[in-house]
Amino acid sequence: MRASKADQPATTLPPLRRRRFSLSAKLLLLTVVVVAAVETAVLVPTIANFRIAWLSDRLAAARTAALVLDAAPQDSIPMDLTRQLLASVGAKVIVVKREDTRRLLAMSDMPPQADVHLDMRDLTLVGAVCGALDTLTAADGRILRVVGDPPSGADFIEIVLSETPLKRALLRFTVTTLLVSLLVAGVAGALVYFSLNALFVRPMRRLTERMSAFRENPEDASRIIVPSGRSDEIGTAEETLEELQRALSQTLSQKSHLAALGLAVSKINHDLRNLLASAQLLSDRLASLPDPTVQRFAPKLLAALDRAITYCEQTLSYGRAMEPLPDRREVDLARLLDEVRETLGLGGGTGIGWVVSLEPGLKVDADPDQLFRVILNIARNAVQALEARAPLDPERDQIRIKAKRLGTTVQIEVADTGPGIPPERRAHLFEAFVSSARRGGTGLGLPIADELVRAHGGEIRLIDSAVGTAFQILLPDQAAEGRQRPERLRA
């Protein structure tokens, strides 16, 4: 015996591809890069400002020394005091320009040749940064000429000094600032990293783990993610994922239910058809008896057995898109409704009223067997809903059917006076295994009816009703070319 799909082992899912860099590693790398960029953007201008401040201090000291030396009589200051003043300034030469003359206020031995010239009066940020980098990389012993704002009454003041003390001071400041910045940046970066990791990375990792776990066994409801209750986008993603996983799990459960049902029915289908065939042979013998009652009911019994055998042959058709195409022809709707009533056993004394209101001689262009199944499924649901509130009263508990033709469409309404359908079930009426509200029901009656009506190009829907439940069926007539095709095939 061929194994069914339900008996076959589940297909092994391909392993998930592992990423070379996790989200945490990328976050750490991004934090390091951003902090380094910020530190660079802050440290370089800070070094440039330190160099400007250091030179400005030397110029300020030179202006003070120039005022002292300029106020003293010419050549009245001893050379030792002059050298001490130069040492306090840290300069080798101090020059003040007034009008068109340059006055050398102090000199130590022979004035050295300047290697670099710097005018502090029109220094820009870019120039300051470039100068600071140049000082850090300069060789020891380089001579620097600096021009700045003069004392009152002069045009400018300039000093000539060695750049080596500036370089050493700048190096010490750079190292100290860099260490402090690295400490602050490390603390700030760690806080940012752990905060982002707690706020985003860990919830995303949890989402990934729950999706991977659900992927391994989607039918296991315990693997569905439980939302954390967050009110941000991650919380929304968790709630959406939960809804998606629950819907998928329910869909898979329904498909498993359908597969199990199909497997069980397929095992009994052959034996059941044999039993019905035997009953059909006995009915044929009964039909030959001359008893008037037997002659009256035997054709109906034979028709019921033929229909039951046909149903057995088509038992597995639902869910596999194997319903036969409708064999449409004109159907006497009143006669078909009588067959439905007799099949349901709604005769006198049942406690359920059967009220039919049709246009005289109304014909429906449909497959009689499929239309019979549609109305039978809806009416059986109505009977079960009415029987749930026994004792029954035919004046209160009724199934009401009315139909009329609207141009090329026949409108059929099947209603009952039962308790109605709860609002939470209305959205799933035509879904398999969902719409049934009674114990033992399969939930296939309305989905089968919907499938058969749609095969006719029609529509079935729930409509508003003052009491109970009401369904409306719209069956359009077949187009002329559609009616001619079966005739050509039969010819």
Q: Annotate 320-375 with DSSP letters as a single string.
A: TT-PPPP--EEEEHHHHHHHHHHHHT--TTSS-EEEEEE-TT-EEEE-HHHHHHHH
Q: Mean pLDDT, to the nearest integer, of 290-318? A: 67
Higher pLDDT, 336 or 153: 336
Amino acid at 216: E
Q: What is the pLDDT of residue 4?
A: 42
> Domain 219-322 is of which CATH architecture?
Orthogonal Bundle (1.10)
Return the SS3 of 411: strand
Q: What is the pLDDT of residue 3?
A: 42
Instruction: Judge contact between 143 and 114, C-beta under 8 A.
Output: yes
Q: What is the pLDDT of residue 491?
A: 42
Q: What is the pLDDT of residue 2?
A: 40
Q: Tell me the C-alpha distance between 47 and 329, whole Å.
A: 97
Q: Tell me the C-alpha distance between 246 and 257, whole Å.
A: 16
Third-level CATH fold of 327-490 = Heat Shock Protein 90 (3.30.565)
Helices (H) and strands (E) in the chain, counts: 12, 12
pLDDT band at 401, cuts 50/70/90?
very high
Q: Which stretches of 213-296 are assigned E, i.e. beta strand?
A: none
Instruction: Judge contact between 405 and 333, C-beta under 8 A.
Output: no
Higher pLDDT, 132 or 9: 132
Strand 459-463 relative to strand 469-476, pairing: antiparallel
Q: Tell me the C-alpha distance between 432 and 233, whole Å.
A: 34
Q: What is the pLDDT of residue 57?
A: 86
Residue 246 contacts by C-beta under 8 Å, 6 or more apart in sequence?
A: 221, 224
Model-wide pTM > 0.75: no
- List the structure tokens of 307: 């229909």
Residue 263 contacts by C-beta under 8 Å, 6 or more apart in sequence?
A: 4, 6, 7
Instruction: Judge contact between 39 and 47, C-beta under 8 A.
Output: no
Instruction: Judge contact between 431 and 451, C-beta under 8 A.
Output: no
Q: Tell me the C-alpha distance between 14 and 209, whole Å.
A: 16
Return the SS3 of 464: coil
Q: What is the pLDDT of residue 280?
A: 66
Q: Mean pLDDT, to the nearest integer, of 471-479? A: 90
Q: Which of 33-42, 134-143, 371-380 has the highest mean pLDDT?
A: 371-380
- pLDDT surpasses 70 at 472: yes
- pLDDT surpasses 60 at 137: yes
Domain span(s) for CATH 1.10.287 in the chain: 219-322
Q: Tell me the C-alpha distance between 469 and 376, whole Å.
A: 15
- List the structure tokens of 104: 């050398």
Q: Mean pLDDT, to the nearest integer, of 184-204? A: 80
Domain span(s) for CATH 3.30.565.10 in the chain: 327-490
- pLDDT surpasses 90 at 348: no
pLDDT band at 441, cuts 50/70/90?
very low
Nearest Cα to 65, choosing from 134, 161, 144?
161
- List the structure tokens of 426: 């209305």
Q: How many CB atoms lie within 10 A of CB 249?
A: 18
